[in-house]
Amino acid sequence: MAYEVHQELTVLFDKLLGAESRLLYKQIGRKLPHTIRFNPLKGDIKDQQALFLEQGFRFKPLEEREDIFQMTFQPYPIGRSLSHFLGHIYVQDIASMIPALVLNPQPGDWVLDMSAAPGSKTTLMAAMMENRGVILANDVVRKRLKALGKNIERMSLCNTLLYKWYGEQFGNTFFECFDKVLLDPACSGLGTLHKNPEILSWWTPAHCERLADSQKNLLISAVKTLKPGGELVYSTCTLTPVENEEIIDFALNEFPLEVEEIALPGIKTWPGLDGFDGKPFHPDLAKTIRLYPIDRITEGFYVAKLRKTGSTKAPRQERQKEISHIPFISYRTSPVKKYLDYLCKTFEIPAAVFKDYVYLMQKDIVFTRKDILDFPVYGAPLQIGLPLARPMDYGAKLNTGGCHLFGHLAGKRVVELPDLSTLEKFANRQPLDIFPQESGQYIVKYKNCMIGYGIVDEGRLKSQFPRGDWPFRLTGEWNGEEGEEAGAG
């Protein structure tokens, strides 16, 4: 479908890239190669890679970036693979990974992801933090929040709080609370023309100005939440200076901030603009970076890294909310103690592994890192941590997420599936003629990868694997879309 290009957009591209601006239009409709990352929270990455290869997928590491992989062949869509369902992989454009890599959160940090959905950056940061510290993941759109919550569970994030607040609320409520803040606000999306060409039909300078007003207000709030000495990354997937350099230029003039250098080995970047269309910007904006989709097979992006060098004006007392009381209990406190004792006895999981967490008794036993005890929780989070097990009259029923995080510690009641065809049956909830000596719950694994759990009854292993939206096909020919070189075209 042809789209009429706004004349001022053509002028903008010409000013940014000169003769090379024509290359931007060549990206429209182009299918980029899929890039993925594996999930260290789910176990050894080499074991995850081996399982993905067994399903027929092929990939290679990017040059100088052994943590990012480019797909070279996929026998069917990655999103329908068992590896994706298990949370072993996240499909994410290289440019989208950069903000989290630049922010570089560490284990124990308190991190705010102000516009987090659908979760690509949140889940990457949690992996970098080794599931320690606290991440507050926020979004304001309910449909996007649903996807964020699912990805938090799929990728096994137990250090994360899920919120539905307007971003502007955080500055006064969580004043100077966070070590790191990531702000990736809604933008005009000009870096994604390859997959969203319809942007050309509605893009206008006036629309960008309205977005910039919102982005500026969100950045004000984000700066207020940051501790003195803390770091903030601002990023967008657009190319307009009004949504990028002008926003950072404003912040540098209003707040005690300094721009930090960004180093990304193996990824080509352009320096941020120190002026545009006759308007000068702060000279340090040259330390921010731009990615243009003409340089490598990736989206267009803008990233700025800021450090807060001093305190900002505190909000009036009446604007601050009271800290919420969340009834967390320790691993040795009733009633959670008896359920954890049951799991430890049933699976021979060392009790000491549960001491680093606190628990909530809900429909499921929910767990999160005990780092949360020092964190000021305001309002009512939509989701805290992860479900571990379901309380039952006889004890507790371990769920799939609990198996993924703690199954490798079990000393008994572990079934290892012998081959890929048996794994396919288990993933599709078919009973298996496997004969452990005792009936009851079993953790199920395949070649060191934790898969889920099952129940042995009457000599058969009955799969308790979560229902997918489609049958998993791990062997033979797949009946849907034919195999393809990933992203070719």
In sequence order, the β-bridge partners of residue 257 are 308
C-alpha 251/C-alpha 244 separation (Å) is 11
C-alpha 361/C-alpha 174 separation (Å) is 26
3-state helix, strand, coil split of the chain in percent (to 5) is 35, 25, 40
The one-letter amino acid code at 130 reads E
Is there a cis peptide before residue 335, judged by omega within 30 degrees of 0? yes
Q: At what angle do helices 205-225 and 245-254 cross, to 10 degrees?
A: 40
Helical spans, DSSP H, in 55-168: 82-85, 94-103, 120-128, 142-154
Going by the DSSP 8-state scheme, the letter that residue 151 receives in this structure is H
- What lies within 8 Å, CB to CB, of 414 at 6+ separation is 347, 407, 442, 443, 444, 445
End-to-end CA distance of the chain: 17
* Contact yes or no for 37/120 (Cβ under 8 A): no
* Contact yes or no for 45/26 (Cβ under 8 A): no
Q: For residue 58, give Cα distances in angstroms to 36, 89, 486.
A: 11, 13, 9
DSSP structure string for 253-301: HHSSEEEPP---TT---EEPPSEETTEE--GGGGGSEEE-TTTSSS--E
DSSP structure string for 371-436: GGGGS--BS--SEESEEEEEEETTEEEE-HHHHHHHGGG--SSEEE--SHHHHHHHHTT--B----
Q: For residue 402, give Cα distances in angstroms to 130, 307, 353, 354, 358.
A: 16, 38, 12, 11, 14
Nearest to residue 311, comparing CAs of 394, 387, 223?
223
- The residue written with tokens 């699912």 in the block is 150
**Positions marked catalytic:** 237
Strands 226-236 and 279-280: unpaired
- The residue written with tokens 């040059």 in the block is 63
C-alpha 297/C-alpha 341 separation (Å) is 51
Query: Helix (H, G, I), strand (E, B), or coil: what is residue 32?
Result: coil
